[in-house]
C-alpha cells in the first residue's frame, strides 16, 4: 500500500502521519504503551514490518526466529487487510507493565469486521514492547 507521510495518521490522532506515529517508525521511543500500541497499529496500516518485529517482546508466542517467514506473515496480513479505524477503550499504565484495550475495525475481502483485544506490554531497557494479548467478546 502506498502511503503519503502527509496523510492523516492511521491511529486516528488527527495529526499528519509524519508528525505522529511516523516519528516512532523512524526511531523515536514512544513515551508510553498507549503510544506504542497506536504506532504498531499504524505500522500494520503502512506496512512497516520491521517496526512490528522491533516492538514485539522476544517472549511473545508469535516471535519467530525465522525472520523471513515472520516478515512474510506480517506483510500478508498488512496487505490483505483494509484497515478502517482504531478505537481505544482502556489504558492501564504502569511502571513496567501496561494494558491497552482496543478495537480494530477493518475490511477483509470487502466485508466489514473487527476484533477487540486487550494487549499487554512490558518495558524492557526503557522501551515498551508488545508481549501478548487476549481477544474480548469477539
CB 70 within 8 A of CB 62: yes
Q: Classify strands 111-124 and 127-135 as parallel, antiparallel or unpaired.
A: antiparallel
Least separation in angstroms between residue 6's CB and Zn ion is 13
Which one of 20, 36, 49, 98 is in contact with Zn ion (CB under 5 A)?
A: 20
Which one of 7, 13, 32, 105 is in contact with Zn ion (CB under 5 A)?
A: 13
Q: Classify strands 81-92 and 97-108 as parallel, antiparallel or unpaired.
A: antiparallel
Piece of 20-28, 83-91, 102-110, 115-123 that binds Zn ion (CB under 5 A): 20-28
Neighbours of 68 (CB within 10 A): 8
Q: Which residues bind Zn ion (CB under 5 A)?
A: 9, 11, 13, 20-21
Amino acid at each position: 500500500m502506498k502511503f503519503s507521510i502527509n496523510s492523516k495518521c492511521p491511529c486516528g490522532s488527527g495529526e499528519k502521519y509524519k508528525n505522529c506515529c511516523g516519528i516512532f517508525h523512524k526511531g523515536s521511543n514512544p513515551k508510553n504503551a498507549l503510544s506504542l500500541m497506536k504506532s504498531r497499529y499504524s505500522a500494520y496500516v503502512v506496512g512497516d514490518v520491521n517496526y512490528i518485529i522491533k516492538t514485539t517482546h522476544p517472549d511473545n508466542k508469535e516471535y519467530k526466529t525465522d525472520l523471513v517467514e515472520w516478515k512474510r506473515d506480517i506483510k500478508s496480513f498488512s496487505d490483505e487487510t483494509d484497515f478502517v479505524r482504531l478505537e481505544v477503550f482502556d489504558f492501564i499504565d504502569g511502571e513496567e507493565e501496561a494494558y491497552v484495550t482496543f478495537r480494530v475495525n477493518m475490511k477483509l475481502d470487502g466485508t466489514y469486521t473487527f476484533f477487540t483485544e486487550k494487549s499487554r506490554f512490558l518495558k524492557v531497557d526503557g522501551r515498551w514492547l508488545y508481549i501478548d494479548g487476549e481477544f474480548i467478546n469477539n
